[in-house]
């Protein structure tokens, strides 16, 4: 597992898996979209609108997951002095931001017909908006320092501080009254979703994960190269 | 204790302290963080007339009355208390009896809540439309599903 913390090992593995991952993500998207649009049933309450879920939920998960991984890499970079953590975080921040933005836009499009509003300031929607703003701040911080060594550390600390928002996003629907529904799929109980609707959701989640990995590989490789030229 | 372990401990400790600070703030402001009050949370003696608030619960069964094409009267309940609501405007598609709803508006007197906005709330259950018919036919339809 050295390739997860070592730039040259990462490059070796990345060259090996990039094409398979990209092709696999296209295959999963093709099957997933086919299921989402044609092979899954209408919901008993929401009708066809429920199909927005197959984009909304995976992008929400991935927006949170990306941040969680960035938090781990910040700890690796700061406590264990693994510089690959800084490289990784610089590269994947925009990916997490885009997933969160997709989540917010698709959720808004879903809210209009179902709730009767594009947006409300309830705890879930607000905390996700804050997550998106945190991503934007990290991107801007990455663009705004003269000294790379200082920038990396400041950004890593900011990522750690921002990570307190993750449990708030996750549990906001349980802790407070929100317009947003509580979690459908939780570890402790049987999911409240029919298998025929769970299938496209899982396929689409894998498609999102794979495309995320593919873009991350490209961006991390670029970041590694740009640092080499910076040093020489 | 190695240096990297000290740094790890320092980071984790800092995170725990920041998280507890944020959670304490949120816990003590939970009335403002919550998007709506449920009917049983509203104390009849504490009602402030014409103050805009949101209430949420289920639309009580057999309480929906259409006064005119865009004027409605219904009750919002959480099975412990219920509130009479009047509303002029367009209701969302998902709005129906037994369905969750969040109502924005103000009390015009102690018993009548005049709504300016009505949002439908859906729950975490997803099920194909065809299964609902099967369940109803066989009598296994759970009232809880609405």
**Domain locations in chain A as residue ranges:** 51-231
Which residues, at least 6 apart from B104, have a Cβ–Cβ distance to it below 8 Å? B52, B53, B54, B115, B116, B117, B118, B119
Q: Which residues of chain B from 36 to 95 reach within 8 Å of chain A, CB to CB?
A: 36-38, 56, 91-95
Residue B140 pLDDT: 60
Which residues, at least 6 apart from A135, have a Cβ–Cβ distance to it below 8 Å? A67, A93, A94, A96, A97, A100
Q: At what angle do helices B3-28 and A165-175 cross, to 10 degrees?
A: 30
Test the B interface: residue of A41, A44, A48 with most B CBs within 10 Å: A44
Beta strand pairing call for B65-68 and B53-59: unpaired
Check if A160 contacts B (Cβ < 8 Å): yes
Within 10 Å of residue B71's Cβ, how many Cβ atoms? 12
* Average of per-residue pLDDT across B70-84: 89
- The shortest CB-CB distance from A181 to any of B34, B122, B146 is to B122
Residues B114, B76 contacting (CB under 8 angstroms): no
Query: pTM for the whole thing?
Result: 0.90
Question: Could you report the per-residue pLDDT of A128-165, keeping only the tens digit for each?
Answer: 999 999 999 999 999 998 888 999 999 999 999 999 99
Is residue B65 over pLDDT 90?
no
- Burial group, residue A148, by CB count within 10 angstroms (0-12, 13-18, 19+): middle
CA–CA separation, B14 and B19 (whole Å) = 8
Nearest CA in chain B to A171: B23
Check if A118 contacts B (Cβ < 8 Å): no
Residues A87, A137 contacting (CB under 8 angstroms): no
Multiple choice CATH, B35-121, 2.40.50.140, 2.60.40.10, 2.120.10.70, 3.90.1150.10: 2.40.50.140
Is residue B146 over pLDDT 50?
no
Percent of chain A with pLDDT over 90: 74
Test the A interface: residue of B18, B126, B143 with most A CBs within 10 Å: B126
Instruction: Output DSSP code: residue B60.
Output: P
ipTM confidence score: 0.82
In this prediction, the residues of chain A whose per-residue pLDDT falls under 50 are 232
Q: Report how many Cβ contacts below 8 Å link chain A to chain B.
A: 127
CA–CA separation, A115 and B92 (whole Å) = 6
Residues B39, B101 contacting (CB under 8 angstroms): no
Check if B32 contacts A (Cβ < 8 Å): no
Beta strand pairing call for B65-68 and B71-77: antiparallel
Nearest CA in chain B to A163: B15
Residue B142 pLDDT: 59
Residue A221 pLDDT: 95
Beta strand pairing call for B112-121 and B71-77: unpaired
> Phi and psi of B37, rounded to 5°?
-95, 145
Cβ contact B35–A46 (<8 Å): no
Is residue B144 over pLDDT 60?
no
Domain chopping of chain B, boundaries: 1-33, 35-121
Cβ contact A167–B132 (<8 Å): no
B-chain residues within 8 Å CB-CB of A163?
15
CA–CA separation, A127 and A123 (whole Å) = 6
Residue B127 pLDDT: 85
- The shortest CB-CB distance from A78 to any of B7, B99, B127 is to B7
CA–CA separation, A56 and A52 (whole Å) = 6
Instruction: Output DSSP code: residue B106.
Output: E
**What are the residue ranges of helices labelled H in chain A?**
7-34, 53-79, 84-114, 123-143, 148-162, 165-175, 195-231
Residue B136 pLDDT level (bands cut at 50, 70, 90): low
Ranking A114-118, B51-55, B68-72 by mean pLDDT, the lowest is: B68-72
DSSP per-residue codes, B133-144: HHHHHHT---GG
Within 10 Å of residue A223's Cβ, how many Cβ atoms? 19
Q: Which long-range contacts (CB under 8 A, 24 or more apart) does B27-36 make?
A: B30/A175, B30/A176, B33/A123, B33/A176, B34/A123, B34/A176, B34/A177, B34/A178, B35/A120, B35/A121, B35/A122, B35/A123, B35/A176, B35/A177, B35/A178, B35/A179, B35/B102, B36/A177, B36/A179, B36/B102, B36/B103
Beta strand pairing call for B112-121 and B82-88: parallel
């Amino acid at each position: 597992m050295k390739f997860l913390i070592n730039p040259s090992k990462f490059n070796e593995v990345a060259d090996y898996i990039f094409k398979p991952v990209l092709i696999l993500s296209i295959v999963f998207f093709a099957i997933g979209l086919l299921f989402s649009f044609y092979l899954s049933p209408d919901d008993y309450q929401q009708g066809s609108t429920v199909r927005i879920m197959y984009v909304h939920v995976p992008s929400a998960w991935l927006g949170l997951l990306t941040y969680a991984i960035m938090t781990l890499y910040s700890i690796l970079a700061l406590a264990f002095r693994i510089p690959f953590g800084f490289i990784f975080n610089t590269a994947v921040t925009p990916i997490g931001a885009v997933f969160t933005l997709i989540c917010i836009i698709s959720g808004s499009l879903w809210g209009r017909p179902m709730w009767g509003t594009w947006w409300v300031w309830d705890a879930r929607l607000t905390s996700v908006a804050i997550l998106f703003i945190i991503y934007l701040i990290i991107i801007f911080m990455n663009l705004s320092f003269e000294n790379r060594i200082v920038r990396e550390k400041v950004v890593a600390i900011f990522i750690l501080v921002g990570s307190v928002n993750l449990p708030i996003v996750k549990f906001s629907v349980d802790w407070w009254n929100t317009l947003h529904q509580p979690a459908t799929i939780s570890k402790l109980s049987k999911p409240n979703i029919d298998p025929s609707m769970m299938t496209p959701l899982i396929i689409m989640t894998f498609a999102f994960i794979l495309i995320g990995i593919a873009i991350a590989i490209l961006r991390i490789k670029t970041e590694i190269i740009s640092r080499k030229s910076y040093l020489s | 204790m190695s240096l990297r372990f000290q740094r790890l401990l320092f980071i984790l400790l800092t995170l725990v302290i920041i998280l507890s600070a944020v959670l304490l703030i949120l816990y003590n402001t939970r009335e403002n963080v919550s998007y709506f009050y449920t009917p049983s949370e509203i104390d009849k003696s504490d009602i402030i007339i014409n103050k805009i608030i949101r209430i949420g619960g289920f639309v009580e069964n057999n309480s929906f009355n259409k006064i005119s094409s865009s004027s409605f009267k219904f009750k919002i309940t959480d099975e412990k208390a219920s509130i009479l609501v009047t509303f002029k405007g367009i209701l969302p598609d998902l709005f129906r009896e037994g369905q969750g709803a969040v109502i924005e508006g103000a009390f015009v007197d102690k018993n009548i809540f005049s709504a300016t906005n009505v949002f439908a709330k859906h729950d975490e259950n997803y099920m194909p439309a065809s299964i609902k018919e099967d369940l109803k036919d066989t009598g296994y339809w759970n009232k809880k599903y609405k």
